[in-house]
Amino acid sequence: MYQNSRLRRSAQVTRKRRLPKWPFALLALALLVLVGSCIFVSRAGDHQPANGYQAPKKTSFNKQKYSLSDPTSPWVVVNKQRQLSPKTYAPANLTTPNMDATDDEQVNAPVAEALKTMTDQAKAEGVTLSLASGYRSYDTQVSVYQSEVKAYGQAQADRESARPGHSEHQSGWAADLAAASGKCRLQACFADTPEGKWLAANAHKYGFIIRYPKDKEAVTGYLYEPWHVRFVGIELSTEMHRTGTQTLEEFFSLSAAPSY
């Protein structure tokens, strides 16, 4: 009896030891794959990381957000083909920016705030920018334009100065900047100064664009003016910088304005 019992137990042990191992290995592998897949799906669908940061959703740029014809709009496009309406328009919220200025120049309030922020940062980086020209009334632009015509003839004046009612300066959204030293003031060589280089590289961060870029006269109608900045807001200036689009006409698919 004892011997038979030992033989039965021995046979059972032998049978257990002889069970194949590969089904258990496959089962374990399947479980690992299943658990891993669940973790991956869970993490892929988690839009709120542990640090609380939520990545912004990618959306297309809304080119209809602001008017391109209303002079109170920061996106108003003023050129030789697009006159201010009314022609003698004058901004209602002009203010003097708290920055170095040649004279007591004024611009629209949002422009003044952006200029202050931008020039403060420039100064912190060793670059001092001053405001050479801001808002010009319709009557002032009459005098400026006529002086240009008298000095250089109408054809050349039209390449350098806007006719009354067609000036960005009259809108209050534009500004001419200069080096505090006065070097290359309102000249193309401003682009080669430390101030001009800083402005070209950083203006878009504060809502500005260089309105009349180099080699774009056929589009804008004006010679290269590296000192002339136009406030359009950070949203638009950033998008134009991101896409490498230099002019408002090209960005909004408007007709070029080389002449009146």
DSSP at 149: H
CA pair distance 101, 146, nearest whole angstrom: 25
User: What is the residue whose two structure tokens read 């698919």?
Assistant: 253
CA pair distance 115, 231, nearest whole angstrom: 9
How many beta carbons lie within 10 A of that of residue 42, not counting itself?
9
Catalytic residue at 113? Answer: no
Instruction: For residue 213, give every residue at least 6 positions away whose Cβ sits within 8 Å of its Cβ, in sequence order, or none.
Output: 220, 224, 246, 247
Q: Side chain identity at 89, as an amino acid letter?
A: Y
Q: How far apart are the first and last CA of the chain?
A: 120
Classify residue 49 as exposed, middle or buried by CB count within 10 Å of its CB (0-12, 13-18, 19+): exposed
For residues 83 and 90, the answer to whether their CB atoms sit within 8 Å is no
For residues 212 and 223, the answer to whether their CB atoms sit within 8 Å is yes
Q: Side chain identity at 194, as an amino acid letter?
A: P
Catalytic hit among 105, 148, 225, 249: 225
* Nearest alpha carbon to residue 259 among 133, 147, 158, 121: 158
DSSP at 223: -
Catalytic site positions: 225
